[in-house]
Amino acid sequence: MSSASKLQQDLDCEIARLEQALIVLKRRRNALSPVSQLPSELLSKIFYLSLRFIQADRRSRTKILPEDTRLSISHVAHHWRTVALESPELWSEIHVRDTTKVEYLALARNNSKMQPLYVEGYNINLTGAAGVRYVLQTEPHRINGVTLHAPIEVMRSLLPYLKRCCEAIEFLYLELPRRVQTPLDSTDHDIFFNIPKLRNLGICYWDTLLIPTSFQPSSLVKLELYFTRSPSAQVTRSAFAALRAIASTLKNLFLSFLSRSSSPDFWNNFDRSPIDMPSLEVAFLVARTPGVLPELVSLIRPPSSFSEVYIAGEGSAATPDEYHAIVSALQRTYSSIYSPNFLRVRRPVQAAADSNAIEVIADLKPTHKNIQTNSTTNSIRTVIIPSSNSSLPISSPGSHPLPIPFPNSSDWLFGSQRVIVLEVDLPVAFWRAFSRIPTLSTIYYCAKRAEDGFLQALEEIVANEGPFKGDETYFPSLHTVYPIFSEEDIAWDIEYARSLAILLGKAWAKSSASGSSLTLLQFVGCSSESLDKETVCILRSVVRGVLAWNDQEWNCREPSEGDAIDIAPEDTT
């Protein structure tokens, strides 16, 4: 070896030694950074959460690759890589895309140690299905959960491999594309299978998947079934037979029928007797199919301890005949177990600005929270969304415009209301009904016109008109009225206030509930800045507590202990 070669070799060795020393120095320097001072357990948790809350930056979910994030984390620093590789829970969620390589899947399997595995295949074709199939084949006893979003041919190819994992799966969510699907033959059924340990099941838009009678998981707590077409009678029968089989354990139920038409035998030839669900907490019942919602409401029997029932009809399922049927089903199903105290009628938050949709919320107990926010507890939500070329007869006095029953017996579902919040202009027929509720104490409502339903109902009472029979008692417990002028630059706000006070006084004078008066009468959103003395005197004649006009207040008298107000307004928006 020449002296030059020997010198070159010595220099290479020195360079390698210095590079290794530099790496050690950089690691020591990095170890002094604040993030490196975090305990490894906390750093591992941060890594795990970074996979669950990836910043999308307006990208579609298909282009968000959690596995790339995981690999990036492990290449930032030596400490990070060590923590990542020693955190099996970081690798136990395997996200498969069409571009995912088998080598990465093998790495994830190995690094996850013996942790239960969750597999997600999102928007995959047959190429991505190969990756999912690889994990299901190699780890059938570790597959704890599976979520698949794929066309039906991909789902069908994976169904046998899912069946091999059925002894371990506790979470399963299968979703076909909702809008872009190959036309399916409704008589061509795909057969599901039993999954003994299953706790959560979602089957979305797979309208030909038939649940066999052997499907009886003993601890299923959540079931989601979404049909985009009208399923065949056989699929319908199997779905409701399965629902009966797991009714005793189910806590969350989501049923959705999105077809605008149904087959003639849709509800035929299966048991339509009520399904008692003693553990049910939340039920979402949604339909566009005519006739489905009333049947669902009649079938599903929750306990009195339920948290929320959400009922939504859209398009064909939002016709006047449809919500008349929903009203009857609500009365039959809930009147014996449920007496809501709080009622809210509004436009749905998620509806378009020009939508004619109506949402009715009946809640067991009124609070500040559910008046001023969307929060509810022990509630029934009914949403009616008419088709784009129609509207609900919300201003028609001769029809039943909302999906809540009128009082017709002593066990009326809404006969114990204490608080109502009305954000839409209801016709006089409903105000007639409200006037006869013996417990109604507080009314929040939007005054949208000079002669609204409230004033019309009071005028009928004063004139001895309207369908009032028996004990003539009107608003016997009313002590808080909170009109909100929702229109800008109105010229009739003072006139409205005077009319309201005069008619309330005359109505109470005719009522057997003599001596009634308000402890709070507050007007909000008024265009007129102040009230004249005469109007103040008229208003004070029906108030024995606080009278308020925007920011002006008059204490008509000091309320006594018996005048305690249950709900004082805090926010008028």
Tens-binned pLDDT, residue by residue, of the chain (573 aa): 577 787 788 777 878 787 777 767 776 666 656 666 567 777 777 777 777 655 555 444 555 667 777 777 777 777 777 777 788 888 888 989 888 888 889 988 988 888 999 999 988 999 999 999 999 999 999 999 999 999 999 999 999 999 999 999 999 999 999 775 555 565 678 999 999 999 999 999 998 999 998 999 999 999 999 998 878 888 888 999 999 999 999 999 999 998 877 665 666 667 788 999 999 999 999 988 888 888 899 999 999 889 999 998 887 777 777 777 888 888 888 888 888 889 898 888 765 555 677 888 888 876 555 555 555 568 888 888 776 655 554 444 445 456 566 555 566 777 788 999 998 888 787 888 888 888 899 999 999 888 888 999 899 888 875 444 555 678 888 999 999 998 778 899 999 999 999 999 888 887 766 567 899 999 999 999 889 889 999 999 899 899 999 888 888 865 444 333 333 333 333
| Token pair listed for 129 | 């299905």
Tell me how far apart the alpha carbons of residues 122 and 104 are, in angstroms, rounded to a whole number: 17
* pLDDT given at position 398: 45
Tell me how far apart the alpha carbons of residues 349 and 75 are, in angstroms, rounded to a whole number: 44
Tell me how far apart the alpha carbons of residues 361 and 244 are, in angstroms, rounded to a whole number: 28
Contact predicate 533/551, CB 8 Å: no
| Token pair listed for 193 | 């299978």
Q: How far is CA 269 from the centre of its chain?
A: 32
Tell me how far apart the alpha carbons of residues 311 and 274 are, in angstroms, rounded to a whole number: 17
* pLDDT given at position 265: 60
Tell me how far apart the alpha carbons of residues 84 and 89 are, in angstroms, rounded to a whole number: 9
| 480-485 and 518-523 strand pairing | parallel
Please calculate the CA angle 190-191-192 and round it to the nearest 5 degrees.
Answer: 120
Residue in the block written with tokens 């008619």? 503
Contact predicate 226/253, CB 8 Å: no
Contact predicate 230/263, CB 8 Å: yes
Please calculate the CA angle 80-83-84 and round it to the nearest 5 degrees.
Answer: 85
Name the helix (H) or strand (E) containing 257.
strand 252-257
Q: How far is CA 322 from the centre of its chain?
A: 22
489 phi-psi bin (left φ>0, alpha ψ -120 to 50, beta other): left
Tell me how far apart the alpha carbons of residues 180 and 194 are, in angstroms, rounded to a whole number: 29
Contact predicate 92/118, CB 8 Å: yes
Please calculate the CA angle 135-121-286 and round it to the nearest 5 degrees.
Answer: 135
User: Coil, strand or helix: which one is 314?
Assistant: strand
* pLDDT given at position 194: 94
User: Coil, strand or helix: which one is 287?
Assistant: strand
Tell me how far apart the alpha carbons of residues 108 and 565 are, in angstroms, rounded to a whole number: 61
Nearest partner of 84 among 96, 70, 94, judged by Cα: 70
Nearest partner of 308 among 379, 361, 238, 252, judged by Cα: 379
Total residues found in the chain within this entry: 573
State the number of CA atoms in the 13 A half-sphere of 232 facing the CB: 15
Sorted by sequence, the CB contacts under 8 Å of residue 445 that are 6+ apart come out as 420, 421, 422, 423, 454, 482, 483, 484
Q: At what angle do helices 40-52 and 78-85 cross, to 10 degrees?
A: 80
Tell me how far apart the alpha carbons of residues 413 and 545 are, in angstroms, rounded to a whole number: 32
pTM for this prediction: 0.81
Nearest partner of 444 among 424, 415, 472, judged by Cα: 424
| Token pair listed for 479 | 């002590």
Nearest partner of 420 among 399, 409, 404, judged by Cα: 404
* pLDDT given at position 331: 84
Tell me how far apart the alpha carbons of residues 504 and 547 are, in angstroms, rounded to a whole number: 15
Residue 240 per-residue DSSP state: H
Residue in the block written with tokens 């199919």? 289
Residue in the block written with tokens 């939500």? 381
* pLDDT given at position 23: 67
Tell me how far apart the alpha carbons of residues 345 and 426 are, in angstroms, rounded to a whole number: 9
User: Coil, strand or helix: which one is 256?
Assistant: strand
E-state strands within 349-470: 358-363, 379-385, 419-422, 442-447
Tell me how far apart the alpha carbons of residues 453 and 457 are, in angstroms, rounded to a whole number: 6
* pLDDT given at position 567: 32
Tell me how far apart the alpha carbons of residues 88 and 94 are, in angstroms, rounded to a whole number: 12
Nearest partner of 295 among 243, 229, 345, 358, judged by Cα: 243
Q: Where are the domains of the chain?
A: 35-169, 429-573
* pLDDT given at position 393: 47
| Token pair listed for 566 | 């249950």
* pLDDT given at position 374: 54
Tell me how far apart the alpha carbons of residues 28 and 33 are, in angstroms, rounded to a whole number: 9
* pLDDT given at position 184: 58
* pLDDT given at position 572: 33
